[in-house]
Structure formats: C-alpha cells, structure tokens
Amino acid sequence: MILICGIPSEAPVRLVIEAAMAQGARHAVFSQREAHFYDLHLAVDEAGVSGRLYMRHAEWRLEEFSGVYARLMDFRDLPEHQPHTPGALNQDERHKSALMHSALDEWLEMAPCPVLNRSSAMASNGSKPYQAQLIARAGFRTPETLITNRPEAARAFLAVHGRVIFKSISSIRSVVKELDQVRLAELERIRFLPTQFQAFVPGTNIRVHVVGAELFATQIDTQAVDYRYAGQDGLAVTMTPIELPPSIADRCRHLSRLLNLPLCGIDLKRTPDDQYVCFEVNPSPGYSYYQERTGQDIAGAIVRYLMK
Amino acid sequence: MKPILILAHPGDRLARRVGGWLQSWGGPDCVKLIGVEQIALAPDWRHYQTRQGVTTHIRLADGAILDDRFGAVFNRLQQVELPHFAGAAAADRAYALAEMQALLLSWLHSLPCPVINRASPQGLGGARRTHAQWLHLAHAGGLPVQAYHFSTNPRRFSPPTQVNSPLLSFRSPASTSLGGISQLEPITPLQIGADPTFFVEAVGAERRRVLVAGERVVGAVEGMDVDGCRRLARLAGCALLEIEWARRMAGEDGAWVVCGANSFPVGEDGGFVAAIGDLLVAEAAPSPGPLVSTGGEERGVREKGAGGL
C-alpha cells in the first residue's frame, strides 16, 4: 500500500496517482486540503513507532504503508487556511489541520518505509552553498561561487569570470539573474545582505531525475539564462530525453544517496569541452513539467520504487 | 593549541560559563567569544567556493578577522537576528533571515576545525527534532523511553489503556510545533474529547539531565544505560547531547526512562561545563584521526571540511 500526500490535482501528485492506478498499485491519497477531516494516531513507546490513519471513511495502520510519496506544500499557504476567504476553515479546523500536517511530517521522519522525500533530507536545499559542498563531495564540479556583501569583491569576481549570475543563497526567491550593467549600478545594495554570485557556465542544460536507481536525463535547449522562466522572457524551450555517460549517471545516483534523496532533480550543464557541472539538487522536483514534454515515465518509476 | 571560538547568542549562559572555564584553563587568549549579531552584521563577508575548496574571510565591525587560527568551535548559534531589517516588510525580513541562515550554515559546514555541535540544515546549532523523534531515536539506540501518543481525535483513536503506566493528557493551545511537552497545556481526563490530544506516560517528579560530551557521559546514575546514551548521541550526530531521564512510576520498580533530549544543551551544572570544556580542548589539540564517529553520512567531529576559514 502506497500513501500519496499532497494536492491531488497538482500535476506531480496527479501523475503518481495515475501511475499507481495504471500499475494496479494499492494506494491511499492524503489530500492536504481535506486534512481537517482526517484523523491520525501516532505512538512512540517500548514497541517503537506505530499508529493509525483515518481518511474518507477508511482506516489504515501506518505500518501497512510500503512507501510514501510526499509533495506537501506549506499548509499555511493552503487556500483553506486563509481567514476571511470563501471556504476558509474556522479556527478549530485550522488548528486540527496544522497539527495533522505536523504529525504526518513527524511520522514520515520516523517511518521505516521508503519516503520520497523526508523533510529533514529536503532541508539541504535551504542553503545552496551548503548543498554545493555536498555536491562537490559526490565528485561533481560546481560553479565558482562568491557570497559577499562587498561590492568591490563582486566587481573583482566579475572581472575574473567575465560573465556572472546572481541568485539567492537560500531556497527563497530562487531566480537566477545575470549581473549586467543595470544590476552593477545597484551593487551597493549588497552591503545590507551578502549576495551569492556565480561564474556563468556556458553549455547545455540537463535535468536528471533520480528515482532510486532509475535515471531520467532530459536535455533542455533554450537561450534563457534560467530555462524555468524562459516563457516570461518570451524565449522557447525544447526538451529531449538523453543518455548520460555511465560515469555521470553513477555520480548522480551517488549524489542522490549522499543527500538521502531517493527522488531528486539534479540540474547539470554540459560545457562545450564536455564537462558536467552541477548547479543544485531539487529535493521535491516538479518532474511533471519534464515528463509531459518528453514522455519519460518518472511517475511510474516513483510507484515502482515505493512498491518494492 | 589553537584558540577555541565560541559563537553564541548574548543571553547564552552556558556558552559564557564554558568560555570562563576555558579562560581559567588556558588564559584569556585560548578562547574568543563572538555574538551572532557580530557575525551577521560583519561588514566584510567573502565566502568563496572554488575547485580548490571553500575559503571564507570575515572581518567584524571591530576590525577582528575570523581566519583559520581556531582549533575548535563551540557552536551555539540558533536563530539569526538582523536588526537592520527590523523595519522591512515581513516577506523581505524573512528572506533576509533565510539568506543569512543559509550562509552561516555553509560557512560552519566548511570550517576545517571541529565544530561542536555541527550545524545542520535542521538547525544552525544542530539538528532539531520533535519530542517524538527524540524518543524514537532513543528507542532505536536501545534506551527505555517514556510512552508518547498523539491523537487528532481521541474519540476515534484513543491510546491503549495502560493500568500500570497511567497516561497524562495535554493539548496544544495554538502552537503547531510538536517540539516538546513543556509547550503543551495539561488537561484532565474529563476534558478529553474529539480535539487533538497528546498523551505521555506519567513519570516520577525526580528528573535527571545527563550530558554526553564526546565519549564522556556526565550526570548518569545507577540504572541508566550509559552506553545507550553514547549510542543516542551517535545516532543523532551530536558530539554534545543532553538527555533527560525520569523514573517510571510503576511496573518496573521505578526504572529510569528517557523522556527527552536536546542537541542544544542548556544545563549549567559545573560538571557539564567542565565536560564541554574538556571536549573542546581535546578537539582543538592536534590529533591524527576522528575522536567521535557520528556514523552514516555524518562526519566525525574531528573530520575536516572542504576548505579553510
């Protein structure tokens, strides 16, 4: 029995539900927006961890679940949690939904079954330079990086590398922008808060989705600096499934294990001299964007992994 | 021996006491205490990640430079504060705090010297866990634990009735955090209804805090599993771990059970302070290999990072 947690209409969650149905995999869906209707019992005692989950007139022992796919958004951002909006929960319902989410997350951290992914492992993405150090440990090259609040240091970095991008250090507001003449004129602002600069790495974007031992590599061709936002700049994106060199594929699996993220989206660039540079690892990848454009059966792999 | 760096919040009395102990032991030059705001507001931050590794240059407002001269770090950082963003919009303030937190984590992780406790994505001062997660880890380490139950609706799911080990009931007033029982409000059995309720095994009033400092266990008494305490610290990836014990009220002649743990010790007992001081001195002294193995993917406290400070 697989437990699928999230917003069932959201594409990555929907595709896992559809894949489970296609594979005939028994599954239950924890819909975040209905959490205040559900019930959970969680116990830690001399027998270890145990519990029960009640959803939509059905009940399961937590030990029944062979694996969990969890793509949970912050419950505080759910429409039902916004007071004074149509369909808003009352205070008691919000309280119950909040505790339900906290207890579910707590159980996922302790559950003996595979979980895609645990929030403790996903937290490595909260600091990109921290994660970059782990990426380097896995054997990948990472972009040359400077985090500073000294404008002169940023200018010197630009002088060395010629072309530089900047992006957030944390996972908030994670948009990549180029340090162009307009931004250079505003550089004094970094004195208030250190900012992350990276040498621009030329080459072809590749997104690798790792699901356990299965790998799905997608080449992305675009002129945009950040292909995720190419549409906003009116630029086209094409995606093509590719095979990675075995050594790079092994490195991706190793990185996935190192980060304790059996499901992850690894952002690579293949440089003109055929080197692979790793930018970051997305711990809760919106893989549907790639699956729907390439036909790669990533959702199917997720279900297979959780059924093992 | 290289000096020891203590990174702490202004009100951290344990950090100050450890600083005092180190000064008594090795003189004023053997320890430097730096506040979180001094680091966060440093006018010169340069954190480089290159193919050669990670290097960081920090110049504080008083001109002091943090370089690679430290032999060990006593890391007591928790929540970053950025007073110059106090008047900013809430979203901007949250962004600035997340950015600084992310930078500090990367910096602490990159330090070439032992950092006690190691910073973690779950907390700068070490991985934070909920009450249930600590009990689960203690159980995994072979320690007896105080029974814990949480039910969103005791009318549907009530914990088993334990005649020999009565359960106390609590509710969470407003907080969504499951961090600790101390944050909860006790309620009587008559108040238990269909609302979310926590249940914990009733234990005796006598409590004991035990500190694991490397391989040393301080404060344990007869009946406590000292090796189990070390195992729990290793499982948690902590060189320093405070474990709270209480006596079971019935069933096993008042046996000691674990009823909580904290990777951010707060006990100021003289024995704790000395044990932490000893550990820091031992870690700061040159040594050929790991002193404390934390297992799995976690690095031992002596293991070096990717670059220099």
Span B89-128, pLDDT tens digits: 998 999 999 999 999 999 999 999 999 999 999 999 988 8
Instruction: Judge whether residue B149 has pLDDT over 50.
Output: yes
Across the interface, of A45, A95, A130, the residue whose CB is closest to B109 is: A130
| Res B290 pLDDT > 50 | no
User: Cβ–Cβ contacts within 10 Å for residue A138, how many?
Assistant: 18
Test A43 with B196 for CB contact under 8 angstroms: no
Asked if residue A276 lies in contact with residue A270, where contact means CB atoms within 8 angstroms, the answer is yes
pLDDT value of residue B236? 96
Q: In what order do the strands lie in the sheet with B4-8?
A: B31-35, B4-8, B72-75, B115-116
pLDDT for residue B178: 62
Report the gap between the CA of A51 and the closest CA in chain B (Å). Answer: 9
**Which pLDDT score, from 0 to 100, does residue B179 have?**
63
Q: Once rounded to an integer, what is the mean pLDDT over residues B156-166? A: 77
Rg (alpha carbons) of chain B, rounded to whole number: 21
Least Cα separation, residue A116 to chain B (angstroms): 18
Residue B57's pLDDT is 94
pLDDT value of position B45: 97
Angle at B6 between CA B4 and CA B10, to 5 degrees: 155
Work out the pLDDT band at B306, boundaries 50, 70, 90.
very low
Any chain A CB within 8 A of the CB of B223? no
pLDDT value for B298: 32
pLDDT higher than threshold 80 for residue B60: yes
Please state the φ and ψ torsions of residue A36, each to the nearest 5 degrees: -70, -15
Q: Between chains, do A170 and B305 touch, taking CB under 8 Å as contact? A: no
* Gyration radius from chain A CA atoms: 21
* B304 interfaces chain A, CB cutoff of 8 Å: no
Is the model's pLDDT at B4 over the cut of 60?
yes
Nearest-neighbour CA in chain B from A234: distance (Å): 28
Query: With 90 as the cut, is the pLDDT of residue B86 above it?
Result: no
Average pLDDT, consecutive stretches of 10 residues, N- to C-terminus, chain A (308 residues): 97 98 98 96 94 96 97 92 88 91 96 96 96 97 98 97 96 85 90 96 96 97 77 84 97 98 97 96 96 97 95
Distance between CA A223 and CA B273 in Å, rounded? 59
Among A89, A170, A196, pick the best mutation site for testing chain B contact (most B Cβ within 10 A).
A170
pLDDT of residue B296: 33
Of the listed ranges A52-61, A124-133, B226-235, B291-300, the least confidently predicted one is B291-300
Per-residue pLDDT, B189: 87
Residue B171 has pLDDT above 60, yes or no: yes
Q: Which of A288-297, B2-11, B112-121, B278-287 has the lowest mean pLDDT?
A: B278-287
Our CA-based measurement puts residue B287 at a distance from the nearest CA of chain A, in whole angstroms, of 23
B195: its two tokens: 């609302």
pLDDT computed for residue B297 by the predictor: 32
Stronger pLDDT, B201 or A228, i.e. the higher one? B201
pLDDT at B38: 93
Distance CA B146, CA B139 (A): 10
Q: Name residues 40-69 of chain B within 8 A of A (Cβ).
A: 42-51, 54
Task: Using alpha carbons, select from B29, B261, B267 the residue that is nearest to residue B127.
Answer: B261
Query: Span B7-12, mean pLDDT?
Result: 93
A203-207, B5-9, B178-182, B205-209: least confidently modelled range: B178-182
User: Which residues of chain B lie closer than 8 angstroms to A32, CB-CB?
Assistant: none
Residues B80 and B90: their CA atoms lie apart, in Å, by 15
Segment B242-249 shows an average pLDDT of: 94
B161 pLDDT higher than 90: no
Tell me if chain A has a CB within 8 Å of the CB of B250: no
Q: Which residue of A has its CA nearest to B157?
A: A41
Chain-chain contact of A133 with B49 (C-beta, under 8 angstroms) = yes
Average pLDDT over residues B243-256: 84
Please tell me whether the peptide bond between A117 and the residue prior to it is cis, using omega within 30 degrees of 0. Answer: yes
Peptide linkage before B164 cis (omega within 30 of 0)? no
- Contact at CB, B157 and A54, closer than 8 angstroms: yes
Residue A61: per-residue pLDDT: 97
Strand A195-199 and strand A145-148: the pairing is antiparallel
**Across B127-154, average pLDDT:** 94
Residue B300 is predicted with a pLDDT of 35
